[in-house]
Chain A
């Protein structure tokens, strides 16, 4: 009879050969299940490590929270047996994932931040990695002062073994400056990634989308169009780049390219509605709302558009009412904004909704 452990190893190998996506996640989940049914902690740990990687790049961060919890508990029970590096490294993911679920309270998120801080100190790490996580979390909360404090703390730290890769750091800086509306600095921070001097698994995929809005504000449209084309090729196929799909949709609307905007919406809306990370969905809903507002201001009241189930249904001619769609996007995004703002104790999300008319005024014909 074949050793069931061989079967687990086979599953891990088979998963290795697949690109990230639901199939890979499913195989690794099966490997985890098998390892657990044999009560083999080492294989369970190894399989979960693979599962977390795959889930991270397949739009299933919720799986990471669950798998990580198990790994951390095993690690705390027997620190000699399991590799601390993987645990500490992935802990950064865990926090940036956890805040995307509005049901996890703010005190609990802050406890997680304290916990990772303590663990990184114990491991002899500089504050580099943790302060980046803190900065990101504070930007999400809309706690601008605390975000700036984390930023200046980050600037004082040395890179070390637990620091994100340089490409990810550049991307994170771009994101941070854009959140502060420092458009020029955002683009400058992104330069090494835009020029392909720094790359990694998800860069320049994200940054090529995230610089579109800063470049639009700076009026550097030709440059932006180049990055848009390059960037969409990288994220168009993968369902988990919802935030980037939103950036591309928003950019098409701002440029007045309504045909492309419609294609993007048709192609990515259902993915955005399915994604478990609600703030990514929120960004896409905002872009959708911008699209309907733009259509209306151009005098389009009805149009044919392929939409997933659950949206206002089209009339007898198969045309959808633009106002009804706009109302739907507004209601959906309001609901998410309320949940986040209630959790965060700020009004950062509502503010993003309120800023839409201002953005719409900048849109080109």
Chain B
């Protein structure tokens, strides 16, 4: 024979209040959901039945406040009341997806149990819509005992639930709190939710979903949606975009954030399932690139996740995401084509989002690429302003390298685009697909140096000895010297290292600290890369100090000056120094000063360790 577990109701209530329901105020959601389910069930019997839910608050003097929730739904018979309690044990965990779809009665019971969190006693008076059902009263205590009796009352079919406030929960029973909570959970419900206290009575969802209403025009619609956005999120948004998707039967509105959005910030959209609030933190409803909006969406046909934080990732959600994304995309296309001033305003805040979209969608790329702004050595410029004066666009795809080159490029009057951030290099390199006569070049500092002025023949003669000495001095650092003319003239030397060379510098530095095992690993890695890419030190012929050095005989003083210029170049490029380079700073300085301090002493021999 089969046995049933004895349910310890007190234990279940503790479980519910401590685990299932993160916040006590969810009892309002549960009561609303019970009422909605009951009304839906009645509408299955007679589709014309129009639902109504009333939450009546009383606050009598000297006694705890009470709440009475009434619906005109299907109601319960006495048998069904016994049944819902019997089935609590079986349905007290929600099904895998957290839906309340299973057994209606069991769900009713679970919803009711959450009320014990705020009330020691629950009274239900209900009358089933079935023929000849009498009114029934159920009175349940938190210790698990309950009583059921039929009432000789001629009431309309439906259900009333009475709660009496637990000490300490008074805040939740204030009329204002109940109004706010009913609005919060049920604002989208298609029939009225009334909140009353004495003679005062309000319908909290009088207007229903703002995007489903009729408006006198687009402008009125947008303004009403923006007011709704302000009310829900407390933010004055830039714009409101209606959303609709056949997949998942979803509709709603996306609000354009008034500030630049952080690309990696968590998206948190407010989502409703069949018009009841599901989550305020759904993150997978819109495409990745749509990080510039915050959305409110209802879906009648998507599955919630077990944790009820959003929708379950399945094919239908994916299809809905595509359709909702299309709404945003069409909006942007419309702005770009028809409303250029609003588009500019949008761009000023959300160019990053537009870059993400353009990188992923070919049509959007064509439409938006000209408008997208980039950081350049001539200030911020759009792609159009970059490509109009010149058929060549030069970009650097590495932020660190861009900053290394920026000052010199600017002084040279050379337009260089910083394309180091996400999507930027990809966007620029695809330009020739649309403008076939354009040339897009990715350059590094070595390529920049190619554009520095070469020395004339006689000048080359003059620096010959200096260059020899520099080659000799820098060989140990795997650095190649060059002499060119460039601006600004007060910069004696420019250290230039591509991303590869930087990698090797840090590899050397790590190797210096490592144990033999890891020295071996890094050594192999280094050897595997073939010839280490050299760094370059480009001396500026126009710089007075370099001029003087090139005129001197290549003594050890010149050598030390070269080494110090090298270290200075490293520091200007924010390169950390290896132990050997640190040594130069002290030794090199001493070496420069030695002859001045003790003029009679002969110059020290070359550093053998270099």
Binding site for B on A (CB under 8 A): 16-19, 21-23, 26-27, 29-30, 32-34, 36-37, 62-63, 65-67, 69-70, 72-74, 76, 98, 101-105, 108, 111-112, 115, 196, 226, 229-230, 233, 237
Known: A29-B506, A112-B521, A226-B315. 7 other contacts (CB 8 A): A17-B265, A27-B399, A36-B509, A37-B575, A37-B577, A104-B521, A105-B524
State whether B398 touches A26 (Cβ < 8 A): yes
What chain A residues lie within 8 Å of B507 (beta carbons)?
66
Using Cβ atoms and an 8 Å threshold, which residues of chain A touch B83? none
Q: Is B510 a contact of A70 with CB atoms below 8 Å?
A: yes
Which residues of B are at the interface with A, using a C-beta cutoff of 8 A?
262-265, 288, 312-313, 315, 318, 359-360, 397-400, 420-422, 502-503, 506-507, 509-511, 513-515, 517-518, 520-522, 524-525, 527-528, 571, 574-577
Complex interface: chain B residues within 8 A of A33 (CB): 574-576
Q: Which A residues lie within 8 Å of B263 (CB)?
A: 17-19
- Decide if A23 touches B518 in the complex (CB within 8 Å): no
**Cβ of A67: which chain B residues have Cβ within 8 Å of it?**
506, 510
- Would you call A70 and B513 a contact (CB within 8 A)? yes
CB atoms of A37 and B509 under 8 A apart: no
- Checking A29, A62, A196, A226 against B400 with a beta-carbon cut-off of 8 angstroms, the contacting residue is A29
CB-CB under 8 A from B360, the residues of chain A are 237
A95, B517: Cα distance in complex, Å? 13
**Interface majority SS (helix, strand, loop, mixed), chain A:** helix
- A19 near B264 with CB under 8 A, answer yes
A21 and B315 alpha carbons, distance in the complex (Å)? 28
Q: With a CB–CB cut-off of 8 A, which chain A residues contact B400?
A: 26, 29-30
Identify 12 residue pairs between A and B in the complex whose beta-carbon atoms are under 8 Å apart, listed by A's number.
Answer: A22-B420, A23-B420, A36-B509, A37-B575, A66-B507, A67-B506, A67-B510, A69-B521, A69-B522, A230-B318, A237-B288, A237-B360
Query: What's the Cα separation between A65 and B312 when bound, in Å?
Result: 38
Number of A-B contacts (CB under 8 A): 113
| Bound CA–CA A319/B398 (angstroms) | 34
Across the interface, A66 reaches (CB within 8 A) one of B288, B313, B318, B506, namely: B506
Q: How far is the CA of A132 from the CA of B265 in the complex (A)?
A: 33
B574 touches A17 (CB 8 A): no
> Is the beta-carbon distance between A101 and B524 smaller than 8 angstroms?
yes
CB neighbours of B262 from chain A (8 A)? 17
Q: For residue A21, which residues in chain B have a CB less than 8 angstroms away from its CB? A: 422
A-B CB proximity, top 4 nearest: A103-B528, A36-B576, A73-B513, A70-B510
State in angstroms the CA–CA spacing of A120 and B315 once bound together: 42
Partner of A69, one of B288, B510, B527: B510
Q: Please state if B510 and A66 are interface contacts (CB–CB under 8 Å).
A: yes
Whole-angstrom distance between the alpha carbons of A196 and B284 in the complex? 13
Contact partners of B318 in chain A: CB under 8 A: 229-230, 233
By beta carbon, the residue of chain B nearest A16 is B264
User: Which residues of chain A are near B399, meaning CB under 8 Å?
Assistant: 23, 26-27, 30
Q: Contact between B422 and A62 (Cβ–Cβ < 8 Å)?
A: no
Alpha-carbon distance A66/B504, docked complex (angstroms): 9
Contact across chains for A23 and B575 when beta carbons are under 8 A apart? no
Q: Of A65, A69, A104, A112, which one neighbours B513 at CB under 8 angstroms?
A: A69
Judging by beta carbons under 8 Å apart, are A62 and B503 in contact? yes
Inside 8 A of A196's CB, which chain B residues have their CB? 312-313
Say which residue of B288, B518, B521, B576 sits within 8 Å of A73 (CB atoms).
B518
User: In the complex, which residue of chain A has the Cβ closest to the Cβ of B401?
Assistant: A26
Q: Which of A30, A32, A103 contacts B525 (CB 8 A)?
A: A103
A66 to B508, CA, bound (A): 9
